[in-house]
Structure 1
Amino acid sequence: MQLPSFGDDLVNALNVRVLGEDDADCTIVLAHGFGCTQSLWDEVLPSLLSYPVEGGMRVMVFDWPGSASTSFDFAPTSRLYHVFADLLVSLLQELEIRSCIYVGHSMSAMIGCLAALTEPALFRKLILVGASPRYLNEEAYYGGFEQDDLNNLFDAMARDFCGWAEGFARAVVGTDAPDVAVRKFESTLSGMQPDTALAMAKAIFLSDFRSDIGSVAKVLDAGSQNGKPSGTANIVVLQTEKDLAVPLLVSDYLKMVLGDRGRVEVLQVEGHLPQLSAPETFNSALRRALLE
């Protein structure tokens, strides 16, 4: 698949930062979700970098194309996730990261799964935050949204993007979340190009990657039996107990599909962005997922 054109310097185009020890055994890749930038991880980085890990640690953060911090044009398509998965693999290869622990938030969760299906050796573990393989309800599956719900969301974005972003930020971050957390997400969300944001939202909310979840768990499990650590979860799902975008029934579905290859932890906080609304709780859960 043809990737978006970023010139000769992919690292600069995506605002990549690599922090920590250059010769560390462990590289953690933090990938943000829709409407965010790498600033989503501002309250996470100090906790990660100060946590003692045998062999050292380094952390990579970056910005997806189309985010508020990117300076180039990008027209999303219905195959957005596949394009971004290929982009992620290219980025890891360019940085010579041969194995990483990937932490994908929201849309980045499924992007990481697709990338791991393509190049499983690059991924030691997947940690999926606020993950959903399917947002639309179907018979025997509850994703949280009816088609009319999504049509109304898309219409609101098209009519008044900034007004929509303000209300969406409060609802998604959480009604009880600190104002500073809501304002931070609203700033990066409203900073997107409206047409790009709408196209990305359609690609995200109309996606279906349920078949890929089971496949990636098996692929990573096979890798564990070929020299990688075994006996631990290859995929960890971190889900808040009240998430407007991803209801708890989705995490129940993921738990069923992953079986022994995965673990689901429900955080006793509200909101789709616990990195902003409850960073201490999130950081503790992330450390548990990293070290198990």
Structure 2
Amino acid sequence: MSVLLRNNVRVLGNEKADETLVFAHGFGNDQQAWAEVVPAFLDDYRIVLFDYVGANKQTVPYFNPRKYRKLQSFADDILDIIEELSLENITFIGHSVGGMSGILAAIQEPAWFSRLVLLNASPRYVNGDDYYGGFSQEVLNELFTQMESNFYAWASGFAPTIMANPDRPQLASAYAQTLSAMRPDVALSIAKMIFQSDHRTDVERVRHPTLLIQAKDDVAVPMEVCYYLEKHIPNAELSIIDTQGHHPHISDADKVIKAIKPFINLN
């Protein structure tokens, strides 16, 4: 099996660049989620884009629910890509669960990475003692039930809530389409893995300079989560951007670019 085929890998940008930016998407997206961000970096960096296994029809043939029941398997795929392309001096830019899988990869092979950028990422979504992740277990159980009973109706309702920006309904419509491109059983399996995971102890093991970019208004990842990450990742800095929704790289790409550029130029 080709790693590059499995993850639908594309390499763009400046092939002579000393630094590589690896972009990782979140749940319900694929690499096209970065379409408005990537052009700002093409001249100065090598760019690597990929799809997580199960994200779309190209990658779903490689999905095995036993393998991908833990986020570490997605992190292992990232390391496979890096090794296959012989990459070094990597800035990993990950959205949501894509950022958390990048953390696991960087912990495992720290020398391969220079810095991390986490966009609206969360180490745990379920509320607990002295921790607010944004979801009760009851709410998540209902979400899983809806996904299982009528996946496409669920996707149509979930997309506007997560995307926000009601004045631009085309954004939610586009997200509903990428969500619906997932095979329902695969989407449910991945969603359960993501929402039930707990990587709070892992984030404390990161030693790379890390930029946390957080939207002010995100129903999936409340502000309490970004403050938690800022406190528990040793070399973290926080950039709060004035945006709505869980996908600021799609809804407000210019603000995300503006946050990333100084960080990767100075560190």
TM range (shorter): over 0.9
**What is the Cα-based RMSD across aligned positions, in Å?**
1.4
Q: Aligned match of 1:74 in 63, 77, 101?
A: 63
> What is the TM-score normalised by the length of structure 1?
0.87
Distance 1:170 1:85 in 2: 29
Alignment map for 1:1-292 (pairs within 5 Å): 7=1, 9-50=2-43, 56-71=44-59, 72-77=61-66, 79-176=69-166, 178-217=168-207, 220=208, 234-259=209-234, 261-292=235-266
Distance 2:167 2:176 in 1: 13
SS in structure 2 opposite 1:237? strand
- Compute the displacement of 1:94 (Å): 0.6
Q: Deviations along 1:14-38, whole A, 9 cap, x unmatched?
A: 1111111212101000000111010
- Compute the displacement of 1:73 (Å): 4.2
* Equivalent residues of 2:14, 2:42 under 8 A apart: no
SS in structure 2 opposite 1:70? coil
Distance 1:74 1:237 in 2: 30
Q: Which runs of 4+ in 1 moved over 6 A?
A: none
Deviates more, 1:24-33 or 1:250-259: 250-259
SS in structure 2 opposite 1:64? coil
Amino acid at match of 1:76: P
* Equivalent residues of 2:69, 2:189 under 8 A apart: no
Q: Deviations along 1:228-286, whole A, 9 cap, x unmatched?
A: xxxxxx01111100111100000111111125x11011111101001111111122112
Distance 1:126 1:69 in 2: 29
Q: Deviations along 1:34-74, whole A, 9 cap, x unmatched?
A: 11010001111112224xxxxx4111101110012424141
Q: Which runs of 5+ in 1 are unaligned?
A: 1-6, 51-55, 221-233
SS in structure 1 opposite 2:221? coil
Deviates more, 1:74-83 or 1:208-217: 74-83
Distance 1:63 1:254 in 2: 25
